[in-house]
Structure formats: C-alpha cells, structure tokens
Amino acid sequence: MRAATIRDGEIIVAEHPDPEPVGSEILVRVRAAGINGADMLQLRGAYPAPPGYAPDIPGLEFAGEVIANGPDATRFKIGDSVMAITGGGGQAQLATVDESVAMALPSTLDWSQAGGVAEVFTTAHDALFTQARLVAGERLLVHGGAGGVGSAAVQLGHALGAHVTATVRNPDLRDQLGRLGCDLVLDPQEFVEHGPYDVVLELVGAPNLADDLKALEIGGRICVIGVGGGFTAELNLLALMGKRATIHGSTLRARPLDQKAATARAMEADVLGLFESGAITVPVAATFALDDVAAAYERFSAGNKFGKIILITD
C-alpha cells in the first residue's frame, strides 16, 4: 500500500506492506483521512506514535470500507462504511483498527467529511461533556473556534443548548462560525470582557490561561486540549482558589483501548444522530490527493482555514 510517510523530517508518499487484521481488528480501505495538529507535532519529532502503531505513518482519523475482518471481529461485515480514531497510520490506503473504536458512517456525510469526524468530534465531545460536564444553559468559551476541534465543539455546545462564544483571530472566518450556531464570535483580545464562562475549552494553550481564569465563572472549568500557542504559563493560585475553579488537561491518542472504545460508544449515543438529522456537519476547508500530502501539510500549517484539511487516499 501507499501511505503518507515521515522521512528525515519531511512528509512524503512511500510504499509499505499491506497491514493484516488480527484478533478483533478490521481492515479498512481508507477513502479519506483528516490532518490534525498532532500530525504536525509528529512530523517535527515532538509527538511520536504510541507503542503498537506505525512510527512513520501519521493520521489519527479516517473513514473507509471494511474489506476484511480479524478472526474475532464481529461488529461489521465486509463492505460496511466506517470511521475510526487510531493512534497512527490513518493517512494510508489501508489501515487496521480494533472494531471497538470504529463507528458506522452517518448517511449524511460524504467521504471527505467522514474522514474528518472521528478525532475532532470525539475529542470535543469527550472534553466538553465527559470531562468538563457542560450542561444546557451554561456559557461555553471555545478558543480557536475555526479549527477542526473548535468547530466541532461550537456545534456540539449549540446542539446541547449552551450559550457558545468562540475566539477566532481571522475576522474573515467569523461569519462561518455564526452559521454553525455560535452565539458570539470574538477577537482573542476581547473574550474577558464578555465573560464569565462556565466552561472554557482551551485549544491555544499557555498565552490564554491567566485570562481564562480571570473570565471564569465561580465553579467554572477550564479544559486544556491544545497547546499550539505555548506549553508553560504562570498561574495565580489565589485566583484559582477564589474561583473554586477546575483546570484539567487531556489527550486522546495514548489512552488504553477500552477507554477509546468508551468514547466511540458515547459518540454513537450522542453525536452520530446529530449528523443524521443535519443538526451538525463537518466543515472542510480543502481536500488533497494522497500524492499531494506535502501540500496538504503546508496548507494546514499556514493557518487561516475554516474546518478540516482532508487527504483523499483512495
């Protein structure tokens, strides 16, 4: 098979042996795969794949058709359309994944959209509802609302009935977030004065943390799931105590299989029906053929995009 491949700090396309499903794995002919910030970090050598995954093939989410089952796999039949998260290897013509983390494809999504669902919507759903315990009527702030996870979080918060505010640096992208259900879209310098917020989804990182706390409601929660703007911040612990606030961080990639499977079941229960009804969608900024993977990564790194960058791998 051919796959996006990290070689000497560059992303290229190379030949690899075809994977074979074992145990409860399924083999998927990948039609589309999303590019995420974790792939950029892996390319720079800063975020290696967990043990058991190809160290040189990036890709944390994909969609395609089941073409073979491992001896213990029973959830899907040959020809089923699925999407899944994975610890790596998704940006390839073929991929194996345990059936427990795969989900049936909503009928409303085409391949390019489906390729950008699993990682970003699972991350957003888990962060907002499982960890931050967001409920209807609360005020949610999403930093970096124009990206994949950010636009997913905006839609999920709106669908729940939260009041959603997002920060977006590029003013040309703000109207699009409003059309996804965002109640208020702000420049990143303006969010404190429009608080307080019950939940802050932090996708930028250290530069925002002090103001996140300043803008937080008493008993509010800050969930850090992105640090592209910086890793280290100074924090006023007296302010944290005074707000009776919670700050926690999360990643999805390295979780044990049973925990990833639990996120997939939560997606099936709470999110896939929203795709079917048309309440949420997957904004796609651009698609690239697998052969153009270097250009796709360059487009992702350039920023100023709304939604997902997708590789069409078939």
User: Would you list the domain boundaries of the chain?
Assistant: 2-117+253-312, 120-249
Question: Other CB atoms closer than 10 Å to residue 261's CB: what's the count?
Answer: 16
pLDDT tens for residues 167-190? Answer: 999 999 999 999 999 999 999 999
231 burial via Cβ count (<10 Å: 0-12, 13-18, 19+): exposed
User: Looking at the predicted structure, is the pLDDT value of residue 228 above 90?
Assistant: no
Mean pLDDT over 96-100 rounds to: 98
**Tens of pLDDT, residues 113-134:** 999 999 999 999 999 999 999 9
User: Distance between CA 50 and CA 194 in Å, rounded?
Assistant: 40
**Residue-averaged pLDDT of the chain:** 96
pLDDT tens-digit profile of 124-161?
Answer: 999 999 999 999 999 999 999 999 999 999 999 999 99
CATH value of 120-249 in 3.10.180.10, 3.40.50.720, 2.40.30.10, 1.10.4010.10:
3.40.50.720
Per-residue confidence (pLDDT) for residue 258, from 0 to 100: 97
Percent of the chain with pLDDT over 90: 97
DSSP letter assigned to residue 292:
G
pLDDT, mean of residues 221-228: 94
Using omega within 30 degrees of 0 as the cis cutoff, is the peptide bond preceding 19 cis? no
Instruction: Tell which residue, 33, 174, 185, 163, has the closest CA to residue 97.
Output: 33
Whether the bond between 196 and the residue before it is cis, its omega within 30 degrees of 0, is yes
**Rg, C-alpha atoms of the chain:** 19
Beta bridge partners of 249: 224
Instruction: For 259-308, write each residue's pLDDT tens digit.
Output: 999 999 999 999 999 999 999 999 999 999 999 999 999 999 998 899 99
Residue 98 parent element (H or E):
strand 94-98
Question: What is the dotted CATH code of the domain comprising 2-117+253-312?
Answer: 3.90.180.10
Q: Which of 244, 182, 233 is nearest to 211 (CA)?
A: 233
Kind and range of the H or E run holding 246: strand 246-249
pTM: predicted TM-score of the whole model, two decimal places: 0.95
Please give the Cα distance from 279 to 270 (Å, whole number). 12
User: Which residues are bridge partners to 10 per DSSP?
Assistant: 7
The pLDDT of residue 314 is: 81
Task: Decide whether 2-117+253-312 matches 120-249 in CATH topology.
Answer: no
